[in-house]
Amino acid sequence: MRALIQRVSEAAVKVDGKVVGEIGPGLLVLVCAMQGDNAENARVLADKILKLRIFRDDAGRMNRALTDTGGSALVVSQFTLAADTSRGNRPGFSTAAAPDEGEQLYELFSKNLSDAGIEVANGVFGADMAVSLINDGPVTIWMER
């Protein structure tokens, strides 16, 4: 699985002009299941993100994890993270998991975060979404399983 993580002051996702998920301080996690991914990949990626020390401590250093801050996570599916741009000008997405598998892993990933005590808001899998955020830092990190 792949994820693009952004430390945010706030974030929201809309579908058809209606807010379907929003958070205050925490992480916006854009996530993509890849071909061959499984439940273990979703668990490992969620665990890595939970432990990622990218929040400021009292000295202003990035030394705290999401679990230390009481922050939330907005998890949004984004198959375009599977983009292959190695040839031509049009990205290919054939390495993304099939939609049914991708949705199961997306939901499992979100559940793994929630089971760890994180408040989780979600987008709508496969929908055309409008995501807004205030990137804090900015801090943006790319991760794979």
Query: Would you give per-residue pLDDT tens digits along the chain (145 residues)?
Result: 999 999 999 999 999 999 999 999 999 999 999 999 999 999 999 999 999 999 999 999 999 999 999 999 999 999 999 999 999 999 999 999 999 999 999 999 999 999 999 999 999 999 999 999 999 999 999 999 8
Domain containing 135 equals 2-141
Please check whether residue 101 is in contact with residue 79, taking contact to mean a CB–CB distance below 8 angstroms: no
| Number of other residues whose CB lies within 10 A of the CB of residue 63 | 13
Number of domains in the chain: 1
At 123, which CATH number? 3.50.80.10
Please check whether residue 4 is in contact with residue 138, taking contact to mean a CB–CB distance below 8 angstroms: no
Residues annotated as catalytic are 78-80
Pairwise CA distance, residues 29 & 140, whole Å? 10
- Cis status of the peptide bond prior to 91, with omega within 30 of 0: no
Quote the crossing angle between the two packed helices 39-51 and 99-115, to the nearest 10°.
Answer: 40
Q: pTM surpassing 0.85?
A: yes
Closest CA to 77 of 47, 112, 105, 49: 105
